[in-house]
């Protein structure tokens, strides 16, 4: 049965495109991470009112790639004892925001703390102090894209790594049970943080971006289409753009991942296309599972969210009998 669908999936499972890793990929990240190893997070937190009496809501800020105050919600179950909670760090999709505390109520009811961060400059209340050194097209991807040091991806990757550190540093968090979750941009960040940081212990990357970006820039309608439009206006910068992207491509970084990973993929997703998701997934060497949805486009279904909840419960060692 289901031959056409099975055939497509098998083809993806065998998909193994050329890598795009630059020669100094490891060196770049070693140096970059070392530069930040002693930089303080300069975090703040403030308990705020919520209509949800079962949850503590803290409005927090911390610093990531620079001194921009990055806003986030830190949420915990209301508990009288001094318990430490496993903590889920949430990265949102492109153009989104840290959302509302109520979006994470289910994790609180499961017994998790949650840190949901704004990705800088997008539609939360977090700005950015990154200087834009050159022209850009609409969107967040192309400002600074001509150089890996000024690239937006560099900033948000560091912001995301340090979010996990900030989550881990909260007294209510159990630093041995920090988990990552996100979809699309958030999935891409969950993967790259899994590759570059030792803080997280498992991660869920729904329909992740930042994978096999040479393919995505040519074929997808994702935020990479901004990079494509930029090159269309500045054709002389094609190689610089591809070079910059290669440092942040999970296709190249996936082998560094050491923790259990759940990834999802929609065969009809024109944004984070199955070729790109599988290309990175196929190179992960740690414990991993792929959830593939033959008829889904660029969205995360209720069922997939539930599977993520169960995956995280399992890794948090909650009893779920």
**Catalytic positions, please?**
184, 269, 298
CB 293 within 8 A of CB 321: no
Sheet holding 113-117, edge to edge: 44-48, 55-63, 69-77, 113-117, 85-91, 173-183, 202-206, 261-266, 288-293
The two most distant CA atoms of the chain are separated, in Å, by 61
Smallest distance, Å, CB 112 to a copy of itself?
10
Positive or negative torsion for Cα 16, 243, 94, 72? positive
Smallest distance, Å, CB 38 to a copy of itself?
25
Chain centre distance of CA 53: 30
Closer CB to a copy of itself, residue 37 or residue 53? 53
Smallest distance, Å, CB 299 to a copy of itself?
9
Neighbour count for residue 190 (Cβ, 10 Å): 32
Closer CB to a copy of itself, residue 69 or residue 197? 69
Closer CB to a copy of itself, residue 111 or residue 255? 111
Smallest distance, Å, CB 256 to a copy of itself?
19
Neighbour count for residue 14 (Cβ, 10 Å): 9
Nearest-10 crossing angle of helices 25-36, 152-169: 50
CB 113 within 8 A of CB 76: yes
Closer CB to a copy of itself, residue 219 or residue 286? 219
Neighbour count for residue 69 (Cβ, 10 Å): 18
- For the chain, the C-alpha Rg in angstroms (whole number) is 19
Terminus-to-terminus CA distance in the chain, angstroms? 34
Closer CB to a copy of itself, residue 199 or residue 213? 213
Smallest distance, Å, CB 136 to a copy of itself?
6
């Amino acid at each position: 049965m289901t031959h056409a669908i099975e055939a497509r999936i098998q083809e993806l499972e065998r998909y193994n495109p050329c890598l795009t890793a630059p020669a100094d990929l490891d060196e770049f990240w070693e140096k970059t991470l070392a530069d930040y190893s002693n930089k303080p997070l300069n975090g703040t937190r403030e308990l705020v009112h919520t209509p949800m009496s079962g949850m503590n809501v803290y409005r927090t800020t911390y610093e990531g790639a620079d001194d921009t105050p990055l806003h986030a919600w830190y949420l915990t179950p209301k508990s009288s004892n001094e318990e430490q909670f496993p903590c889920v760090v949430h990265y949102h999709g492109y153009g989104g925001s840290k959302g509302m505390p109520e979006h994470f109520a289910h994790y609180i009811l499961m017994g998790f703390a949650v840190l949901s961060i704004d990705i800088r400059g997008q539609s939360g209340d977090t700005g950015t102090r990154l200087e834009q050194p050159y022209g850009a097209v609409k969107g967040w991807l192309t400002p600074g894209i001509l150089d890996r040091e000024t690239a937006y991806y560099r900033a948000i990757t560091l912001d995301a790594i340090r979010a996990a550190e900030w989550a881990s540093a909260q007294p209510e968090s159990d630093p041995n049970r920090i988990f990552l979750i996100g979809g699309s941009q958030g999935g891409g960040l969950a993967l790259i943080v899994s590759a570059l940081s030792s803080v997280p212990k498992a991660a869920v990357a729904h329909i992740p971006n930042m994978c096999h970006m040479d393919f995505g820039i040519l074929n997808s309608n994702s935020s990479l289409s901004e990079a494509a439009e930029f090159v269309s206006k500045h054709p002389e910068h094609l190689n610089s753009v591809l070079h910059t992207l290669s440092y942040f491509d999970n296709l190249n970084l996936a082998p560094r991942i050491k923790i259990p990973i759940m990834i999802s993929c929609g065969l009809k997703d024109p944004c984070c296309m199955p070729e790109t998701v599988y290309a990175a997934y196929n190179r992960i060497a740690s414990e991993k599972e792929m959830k593939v949805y033959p008829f889904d486009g660029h969205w995360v279904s209720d069922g997939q969210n539930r599977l993520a909840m169960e995956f995280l419960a399992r890794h948090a060692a909650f009893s779920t009998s």
